[in-house]
Amino acid sequence: MGGQITRNALYDSLGGPFPSTTHRCHHKPKRCLPLHPCGGVPVSPLLFHPNAKGSQIVMDLAQRSVKRQASFCNGITFSNRPIALYEQVRLKITKKQCCWSGALRLGFTSKDPSRINPDSLPKYACPDLVSQSGFWAKALPEEFANEGNLISFWVDKKGRVFYRINDSSPMLFFSGVRTTEPLWALIDVYGLTRGVQLLGEKKNCLHTVVKPIHAKSKCYALTDCKMKY
């Protein structure tokens, strides 16, 4: 749900230091998301939005950890600020509950969470929320939803969302995200996943490209490159 996997050979930047030259966007300049230099200092720490959350979500005072109290749904959460292009949203699964099926849903929204009425949030990100304009999300495969796993996901300038589990190679998650306006992270603490924690960004990352391991693979390898913008 929320996107369709592209099977063509893909080449793009995961992040890393960008040249000092101005990035030229083909869309209206005021609506373009900034490219986020890997290892750079974010405008502010990435936290969970304190108010826009599902009815079963309990959040710690630091706004870094959330837990679903009961049931398997009503666990939708958002980031407290927009996410830059290529900025990696890093999570740790802190609690798994084995009596349910399905797992974490991850994605983005162009709707400012500060303007979302929590009472209007549906039970599920998929399919309920993604059927609305400005929401994109997809379910994480259950086999990756183990307690202690580190999950990173990000969106590139072409609207493709990638993810990685721990130190695995990046995988294409889905595509079709509209990147001409600000995007907030969307995290649905669903099913098997009962608790997650937001982690800080890694500062020791390389200037790399994403390249498919073989022609029809959904797995991608990292290789050094020189990017031109």
Give the model confidence (pLDDT) of 97-125 as tens digits: 988 999 999 999 999 999 999 999 999 99
Nearest to 102 by CA among 193, 173, 166: 193
What are the residues facing 196 on neighbouring strands? 66, 93
In angstroms, the CA 5 to CA 52 distance is: 29
Query: What tokens does 22 get?
Result: 């101005």
Number of C-beta neighbours around residue 107 at 10 A: 28
Query: What tokens does 57 get?
Result: 């979500």
Give the model confidence (pLDDT) of 155-205 as tens digits: 999 999 999 999 999 999 999 999 999 999 999 999 999 999 999 876 544
Beta carbons within 8 Å of 194's beta carbon, 6+ residues apart: 67, 68, 95, 96, 97
Nearest to 133 by CA among 175, 188, 178, 174: 178
Nearest to 196 by CA among 94, 73, 77, 102: 94
Q: Under DSSP, is residue 51 helix (H, G, I), strand (E, B) or coil?
A: strand
Question: Where are the domains positioned within the chain?
Answer: 31-224
Strands (E), the chain: 12-13, 48-53, 57-59, 65-68, 76-82, 89-96, 105-109, 135-139, 150-155, 161-165, 171-174, 184-188, 193-199, 208-212, 220-224
In angstroms, the CA 131 to CA 125 distance is: 9
Beta carbons within 8 Å of 22's beta carbon, 6+ residues apart: none
Q: Assess whether pLDDT exceeds 70 at residue 42.
A: no
* pTM for the whole structure: 0.74
CATH 3.30.499.10 fits 31-224, yes or no: no
More confident residue, 124 or 212: 124
In angstroms, the CA 136 to CA 15 distance is: 21
Average of per-residue pLDDT across 57-81: 98
Q: Assess whether pLDDT exceeds 60 at residue 49.
A: yes
Cis peptide leading into residue 127 (ω within 30°): yes
pLDDT of residue 127: 96
Query: What tokens does 90 get?
Result: 């890093």
Nearest to 81 by CA among 46, 118, 109: 46
In angstroms, the CA 99 to CA 120 distance is: 27
